[in-house]
Every structure is written in C-alpha cells, then in structure tokens.
Amino acid sequence: MNKERKIKFNRVSMIAYFIKGSKRFFALGVILSLLAAFLDMISPKLVQYTVDEVLKEEQAAPAYVMEGMELLGGRLYLREHLYLIAILVILTALVAAVCRYLYRVVNSIGSERLIKTIRDKLFVHIEHLPSSWYQQNHTGDILQRCTSDVETVKMFVSEQMTALFRVGMLIALAMYFMLGINKKLALISAAFIPVVILYSLFFHNRISSSFKLADEEEGRLSAIAQENLTGVRVVRAFGRESFERERFEKQNEGYTKMWIRLMAWLSAFWCSNDLITGLQIMLILVTGAVFCVRGELTPGGYIAIVSYNGMLAWPVRELGRVISDMSKAGVAVDRIRYICNSLTEDEAEGSGDKEIKGGDIVFENVSFSYEDDREVLKDINLRIKEGSTLGIIGATGSGKSTFAALMNRIYELPENCGKISVGGIDIKEADRHSLRKHISMVLQEPYLFSRTLKENIAITKAEVKEKELERAVSAAQLKSTIEKFTDGYETFVGERGVTLSGGQKQRTAIAQVIMNDAPVMIFDDSLSAVDMETDAKIRKAIKEKTKGKTLILISHRIATVQDADEIIVMDKGRIAERGTHAELLEKHGIYREIYEIQQG
C-alpha cells in the first residue's frame, strides 16, 4: 500500500487547492449575487410606501423616504403619477436581472476554469503514481472519480457554496425588513429556520452514506464496461457475451438499487421541505391577515411582509438543499482526495538528482518479491557491459520481465534487497527522467494510442525527421506493411492498435524504441508474434542500426537470443546458467533442453 502524505489534504484544503485559479470569478459572482438579492428586497418596500404613504398618507415612513418622495415631486404629484413608482420598480428589477445575468456568466467562467484545473491537476498527479497504485485501483473507478465526482465538486463550488452567501444575505435582509414592519410576524417566520436546518442535518448523514454506496457501485459498473469495451474481441473469441452481459446487468441492478435508495431519501427530504415551507407561508398569510384586521399592521405592511416571507421561504428551502448537497459533495471530494493524497513515485519511492550518462549495468545481490512475499528474483548478480547484447531466456514466471522492470524503476527495489547501478550510479540516486530516457523498453504487450502510425512511432519526438522515421521503420521490418496501407504513415490504428495484427503492433513498438534512440534498449519478448524469418531480419537490422547500444533481448526463443554476447537462463527467479550460445549448448543443461525441443 502507498504511504500517506506527511501533510494530507482535508476537504477544505482540497477545494482551496483547486479553486486558486478561479476564486476571483467566484468572489465577483458572490458580490453580484448579493447585489441582486439586495435589489430584490427593495421592491416590496416601494410597494409598502406607495400603499401606506402615497395613497393613504399614514406618515409612517422614515425621513429618508419622505425626502426621496419630495425629490420625485411630493406625495400629491406621485399619487397622480403612479407610473413613476412603477418605472422605479421596473428599473430596480431590471438592474437586479442584469446582476443575476452577470452572476451567471461570471460563475460559469469560474466553474469551467475550476473543472479544468481539477482535471489538469488530477491527470498530472495520476501520471506520476507508481505502478503498484494501478494494481490496487480499477481503471473504471479512476475514470469515474475523474468525471462524475469532479462534476459533483464543480456543482457544489459553483452553485451550492456561492448560494450560501446569497441565502445568508437574503435571510438577513428579509428578517431586517420584516422586523421593521412587524416583530411578531418576523419571529414566527424566523422560527422555521432552525427547523429546516435540523431536519436537513438529519437527512445529511443518510444521504451521504447512500450517495457513497451509489458512487462506489457506479465505479464498479464503469470498470466492467471499460474492461468489456477494451476486451470485446476476447469476449467474442471465447463466446463470453452471455456471461459478461449477466455480470454487467447484475452490477447495474445493484447500482440502480443504490440510486433508488438515495432517491427515496431525497424525496423524503424534499417533501418535508415543501411541507415546512407551505406551513410557513400559510401561517404568515393567516396571522398577517388577522393583525391587519385588528389594526396592528397596515395594508402596505401586510403586502410587504407577505412578499418578504415568500422571498424568505425559498432561501430557507435552498439552505436545506445546500446542507443536503454538502453530503454528496463531501463524498466526491473524499474520492478525489484519495487520488491526490496517494503518493507519487518520487514521494513514495524517492528520487535522486544524478544524471545517467552511460556505463555498465550492474546487479548486486538483487532479490525481489511482490505483495504475496513470493520471491520473483533471488540473489541476482550480473554485469551487463556497455555496448554489449544480453540475451535472457527462461520459462514463464521465471522473473525475466521483472528483471527488466526493476532496471527501469517501473517497480521499486526495496531496501536491503540488493542494488542496481548504471555507470556506477545507484538507480535510486538517479533522476527518474534521466534513467528512463537512458533506458527504452518494448513491453510484452505493446500499447498503441488511438493515433496515426506516424504519431505512434515518433511518440517521444517533438519534431519528426523523415530519415529517423525511415531508419526506425526499416529496422522494425515495418516498411512493406506501411506501404500496403492506403494512408501509409497516416493510417489511424484505432484504440490499442486494434486495426493491426499482433506482429504489426510489436513491430510498431520496436520502431518506437529505435526512434527513441536510447543508449539501452530492452526488448521484452517483443518478437513473439512475428515469424522466424522476420525475427531474424529484425535482429540483424537492430544490430546494424544500433551499434554501440546496450541491447537486452528477453525471449522464449533460442533463435532470438543465440547471437547475444552473453545469455542467461532464468529458472525460478535465479540465474541457472550463463554463457554464450555455444558454451550453453555444451553444458547439456536447461538451455540445451530448450534448444533441442525448439529444434524438434
């Protein structure tokens, strides 16, 4: 398992980490939202003063209102020209609408910048996580965290979090104006706020746990879908369509049940929310009417307080929704936080700053095991001379690929398990980028991207020189194949190189390594899908075009490694035999046995 960061992200610091580049947009959005909320609160007051002061002359308005009326021509003039007040109300509403429009624009820019930042940072971080992390996490679940959970966080920050400021402003202003009109009605309306908060908190934990289960089920469903889409040819080849369909439907059924359960809690929450809001509005309407009949409340005051209560009902309801949505956002943030708190290769395994410049590759007492504690390599001692060719042969599971992976630090050699050095520099003290630039690998299962052949071959090059491309393609015996394609180098290979045969994919991967022109080249069983004749041509071309390079050929075929300067035979993680082809044949050991079997 990965070690933990010394300083971990918590939920708040996680959001703060992502929001840096867009916080000014959210800040401006909050200001515009608050301004719109303030302007919305003015209209009921204008109606109240019109009814009570302009039409009835009750002389209850504050001095600043009376001064404003005088500036507009006085009470009598306004009574005869009520359209002026209507225009003032319309203008207030228009300005509020403009503020809301600008809030939406600014908030949208901020939210899109936020989601871009999250995706960028997650992508970069995931690229630098160690291989062991990928063994513990399904690709589908990782994708789900980087898509659905990121979208949930974006919605919370851009909608719910900014809504908290707007809701707070609306509640504060509504209560201020209501208290100025009638304290009893204001307190009755305010009494519902803690009720909403309490039942929202009651639902918060239940919604959170249900959403977490649903989110995890979605991750598993995504993993099944991703596996079947990428391995569709294998599914069809073995007639596993029915099995995979049942597997998918079973997982989908579980995912659906989780969401139904979540929707049940949300439905109960929203129904109770509607009930409380309805009771609040009804109580203020009835009580206000009674106060108005008794003379405790003016008609204008009644109209205003009903308007303010209506305005207050939605913010209070929205406050409950924000508390509820915080539970979903919390789960999403935790799932993203898991990725960001996972240690990168450099953090988990350390990285030096020494640059690899060449020299012999030396294995000193190297032993290695995976998590099951079964030793894959045992006490390996070997010197690979610079510019030489090493052949490695052995049965499946004998440690050949692990040998190569340790050399390139795809897997980390634990403490007290020996030492691997290049040119006298321990690879643990070497800069990881320098090491991997020095050593290129063709893996057992070559991976091609959904790009053209040219882009795949020259994937490590910013600028492609035609001579280098031709040299690599020629050495990999791929030229005649490319010439048969209608689009030549611009042929689109499809996902994972699905349009190419196994041998064509292997030869494309070999061309990649030759194009990269690294001092050390490892070919990990990379000729298994080509015929013997092509195998010989490729080996000959590689030897001619990579003079002075250190070559490591890993194979099950004697023919692939027989021309190497030295050959080692791996057996159960140990070097069972070593020597040249002729020397190993004379020993009548494992190598001679493999040779005779392959020669028939």
Torsion of CA 86, 87, 93, 95, to 10 degrees: -160
Q: What residues are paired with 566 via a beta bridge?
A: 390
One fold for 11-189+269-346 and 359-442+519-600: no
Residue type for 222, please? Answer: S
CB contact at 8 A, 521 and 551: yes
Closest by CA position to 510, among listed 486, 543, 467: 543
Chain segment 497-512, per-residue pLDDT in tens: 667 777 788 888 888 8
Residue 74 φ/ψ region, left for φ over 0, alpha for ψ in the -120 to 50 degree band, beta for the rest: left
CA–CA separation, 283 and 574 (whole Å): 84
Topology annotation, domain 11-189+269-346: ABC transporter transmembrane region fold (1.20.1560)
DSSP state of 363: E
pLDDT at residue 273, as a whole number: 75
Look at residue 281 and give its three-state secondary structure: helix
CA–CA separation, 361 and 451 (whole Å): 35
Q: Would strands 439-442 and 361-369 be described as parallel, antiparallel, or unpaired?
A: unpaired
pTM, entire model: 0.70
CA–CA separation, 207 and 263 (whole Å): 9
DSSP state of 21: G
Closest by CA position to 85, among listed 67, 96, 69, 62: 69
CB contact at 8 A, 217 and 251: yes
For residue 430, give both structure tokens.
Answer: 């070497």
pLDDT < 70: residue spans in the chain: 1-7, 48-81, 233, 316-320, 324, 371-373, 494-498, 529, 600
CA–CA separation, 182 and 94 (whole Å): 29
Indicate if the alpha-carbon torsion angle 97, 99, 105, 111 is positive or negative: negative
Q: Which CATH architecture has domain 359-442+519-600?
A: 3-Layer(aba) Sandwich (3.40)
* H-helix segments, 50-161: 63-71, 75-80, 83-127, 131-136, 139-144, 150-155
CB contact at 8 A, 479 and 510: no
CB contact at 8 A, 434 and 355: yes
Question: What does the radius of gyration of the chain's CA atoms come to, in whole angstroms?
Answer: 36
Torsion of CA 450, 455, 458, 460, to 10 degrees: -60
pLDDT at residue 62, as a whole number: 58
CB contact at 8 A, 144 and 218: yes
Domain 448-517 CATH assignment equals 3.40.50.300: yes
CA–CA separation, 348 and 343 (whole Å): 5
pLDDT at residue 362, as a whole number: 92
pLDDT at residue 149, as a whole number: 87
pLDDT at residue 381, as a whole number: 92
Query: pLDDT above 70 covers what percent of the chain?
Result: 89
Query: How long, in residues, is the chain?
Result: 600
Domain edges within the chain: 11-189+269-346, 359-442+519-600, 448-517
Closest by CA position to 313, among listed 211, 193, 476, 212: 193
What are the DSSP E strand ranges found in 418-480? 419-422, 425-426, 439-442
Q: What residues are paired with 68 via a beta bridge?
A: none
CB contact at 8 A, 389 and 554: no
343-354: b (≥16 Cβ within 10 Å) or e: bbbebbbebbeb
pLDDT at residue 70, as a whole number: 61
